[in-house]
Structure 1
């Protein structure tokens, strides 16, 4: 009997694809209500099924076009998509998540002039994360791309807090992230998720 294609080439973890919507003043305090998971995969086969079918593989399909200012509005919620994320199953793309609140995210901002390169940059980041290609990949919980209107923010979320990590793991991940985008490490920024 032939093996089910969807079970071939398992990934080390199960991942979920998320979308986050623009927030107005009333909804900003309820951040987790402004997002939803839209897909799940745990094999290379199911990843490519989602990636080839969902518009979330290409942020150009969902983010505001910087030239025309045309927005894509999500039916049923009357909001535009502000961010797309790929996160480990069981972890929400929110600082308030039990795992994330102890960690940080490393990020880089790219110009709106890079609009036509969004798919390429986003796909490189996602493939590095789900393929466990970064050093200490067990410390990485997900990644996001955010439409900030003035720029695009690519984020890599860690269980570790860069400012409290004495092992050096977070710094090695930061170096690999900089290398992935072909930029010097000092171009990257870090946000701690801990509340002060």
Structure 2
């Protein structure tokens, strides 16, 4: 992580002025044309990324609850778009008033995926893959969830998985009454060596203690599970 990212991260964590749930949903539907183009010189990312927001409404089809917030391909636009992250001060300026994941209502998700990949198992680039899964209890929502999520996002846009970055499709954070889940999605569950190396890097970057194990679940196993949870194919 370069010094610019660190400074942005520190500023973000210090910012206590957050969007409400209602403001978040309104901003999701705002026209992208309202967004300021930002500075002329920006720092490009290796990939273009898309931010998604999901709010569970059982009266609608699942896909109708999924909203594409915005896509970006520069460091500056990532920080401008964090978790919708947008608050229009006026038509000329945007800044990072973030609705933290920990403040979302139960049944809501954030997802960050490479542009062109939807955050669902059925997507052509996800169907053979799986996810490294971190389960968090309600106490961790207040202490660790936001840090884990932000660090995961920085791993994605910063290509922290090096030569395995092409094997990583994106990540999701699910807020639920019974406990929250953070998932790092990979492209091919059959590539066991790549999957394991990605899991070790994720555990290292999130500073998860060695005594705590993470499990990897293939999407095909999750889709056909018999009980409440799918079996872990791999662990780190």
Distance in 2, Cα, partners of 1:56 & 1:107: 24
Q: Report matched runs for 1:179-190 at 5 Å.
A: 179-181=204-206, 182-184=208-210, 187-190=213-216
Distance in 2, Cα, partners of 1:180 & 1:42: 22
1:12 is matched with which residue?
Answer: 46
Calculate the TM-score normalised by the size of structure 2. 0.65
Aligned-residue CA RMSD (Å): 2.3
Count of aligned pairs: 171
Calculate the TM-score normalised by the size of structure 1. 0.78
Greater percentage in strand: 1
CA-CA distance at 1:20 after TM superposition: 1.2
2:68 is matched with which residue?
Answer: 37
**Match of residue 114, structure 1, among 102, 121, 140:** 140
Distance in 2, Cα, partners of 1:187 & 1:38: 33
CA-CA distance at 1:138 after TM superposition: 1.3
Distance in 2, Cα, partners of 1:113 & 1:20: 23
**Match of residue 159, structure 1, among 187, 192, 213:** 187
1:59 is matched with which residue?
Answer: 101
User: Unaligned stretches of 5+ in structure 1?
Assistant: 65-80
Q: Report matched runs for 1:70-89 at 5 Å.
A: 81-89=107-115
User: Unaligned stretches of 5+ in structure 2?
Assistant: 1-37, 88-96, 225-236
Q: Which aligned runs of 4 or more in structure 1 are off by greater than 6 angstroms?
A: none
CA-CA distance at 1:131 after TM superposition: 0.8
Question: Highest relative contact order (Cα 8 Å, sep 6+), 1 or 2?
Answer: 1
